Structure 1
Amino acid sequence: MNFPFASSETSSWLLYILTDSALPTGGFVASSGLEATFQAGLLTRDTLPGFVQSSAHSYSSQTLCFVKAGYNVPDQEDPMAALDDCDDTCEAVMVANTVARRASLAQGVAMLTLYLKCFTDSRPDKDIQLVKKWKLRIRAGTTFGHFPVCFGLVCRLLDVDLGKNTERTKGSSCA
């Protein structure tokens, strides 16, 4: 049984669940430089809010296109190829930051695992098989499985809306 989450309240509720620090998605794998900045003596009580705001803005600027591309994968003619294409581009963006890259990979697999273990009771078999196949390819080392792509895909498969001013597109939004 597939039930679309049409209301923004339900989508918000699902987003709160998916981003909850209690979930085993590795949300605390990396601090985005917070620890290093503190250890270097560059962080004070006064500079912390600006650091957090800047860090969040930077992260969202670098990853939003991959979340949207992962979200749009089911609309593609070849969803697996679309996942690979977007994930390869995400890898190219993240390759220079080893810590962030490692965190993204750990969180990506954890997000797919979460979907498969907790949300598949009423999901269509084709969606479940897509996630299983991609996760197997990640484990085999034939693709990367970055978190923003996995997060976007899982949000789509759970019918989370992107927002009232965003619509799905046929093309990839990360290339």
Structure 2
Amino acid sequence: MAESGGFIASMGLESFYSHGFMTQTPQNLVASTIDFVEYTLANYTHSVLPYMLAAYDLTHMHLNADMPMNECLERLAVLDWHHHTLLLNHVARRASMIQGMALLSLYMRSFVTEQDRSKNLMEELRLRIRRGGAKLNNGALALTPSELAGHLPICTGAFSCCLGLSKESMLRLNLFLQARNIMSCSIRLNTLGPYKAHQLLGQQLRQVVEQSVERVSQSAADKLVAVSMPGRSVSPTDVLCLDDVAPR
């Protein structure tokens, strides 16, 4: 994940540690770290992965000739802005945008071929993200339908579909990367050693990742796809009701 800045944030582990929620004994540090990973992946499963799935589905519709490219891009823009409004921290917004654009650049430079139907889609997506990102950096409070902020979940969904990953593989990979990111932060904080972190990642946390994959709500993603339809306005109710279809 070096190309997309996968290690630029710890998802709050430093704060969790510095506020005293991790008792200073080896056994409690391990247990507290596992608990933190479980809480973080649960939040990620319900608040981020439905957007990733929805972006995947919209991209898949276009690549299968079921949706014109411009409609696909405009609906991705609706999803992107929908997600933007849920990120209240400007640091999280900026990190997500930087990583999203980096992921698309990685695809264009390393994976695309001239024969790929995805080439034009990804080129236009990057162009619209550049325009949208420039406006937001200049203080814009909203974007047009032809502009995107380029948040990581949207870009990851499009990237994974164009790359030919299955949805299940995409979900499992991204959940694993989230867990690995926290283990990397634990090593930097010296709350876990590198050997213990690798042991947890290969054993206890593998089960946590698999359980999280099973909890991802396709219904929430379908609702987001419906929200992105042309002419559909996004209301606060649309945001709140996503949790209604997420499994408990």
Q: Quick check: TM above 0.5? A: yes
Q: 1:173 Cα deviation (Å)?
A: 5.9
**1-structure distance, mates of 2:130, 2:16:** 33
Assess, with a 3 A threshold, how the Cα gap between structure 1 residues 121 and 84 changes in structure 2: closer, same or farther.
same
Runs of 4+ in 1 over 6 A off after TM superposition: none
Structure 2 residues without counterparts, runs of 5 or longer: 24-28, 62-66, 133-146, 170-213, 229-248
1:153 aligns with 2:153: no
TM-score by length of 1: 0.76
Query: Which of 76, 79, 103 is the aligned partner of 1:83?
Result: 76
Does the Cα contact within 8 Å between 2:55 and 2:157 map onto a contact in 1? yes
1:40 aligns with 2:14: no
Correspondence 1:58-137 to 2 at 5 A:
58-74=43-59, 75=61, 76-77=67-68, 78-94=71-87, 96-121=88-113, 124=116, 126-137=117-128
1:30 is matched with 9
Count matched residues. 151
CA RMSD of aligned residues (A): 2.6
**2-structure distance, mates of 1:128, 1:117:** 11
Assess, with a 3 A threshold, how the Cα gap between structure 1 residues 67 and 60 changes in structure 2: closer, same or farther.
same
Q: Deviations over 1:7-51 (max 9, x none)?
A: xxxxxxxxxxxxxx3x31111121111112222222240311101
1:68 alignment partner AA: L
Q: Which has the higher helix share?
A: 2
2:131 is matched with 140
2:168 alignment partner AA: G
Q: Percent identity?
A: 29
Structure 1 residues without counterparts, runs of 5 or longer: 1-20
Structure ranking higher on relative contact order (CA contacts 8 Å, 6+ apart): 1
1:172 aligns with 2:205: no
**1-structure distance, mates of 2:102, 2:22:** 31
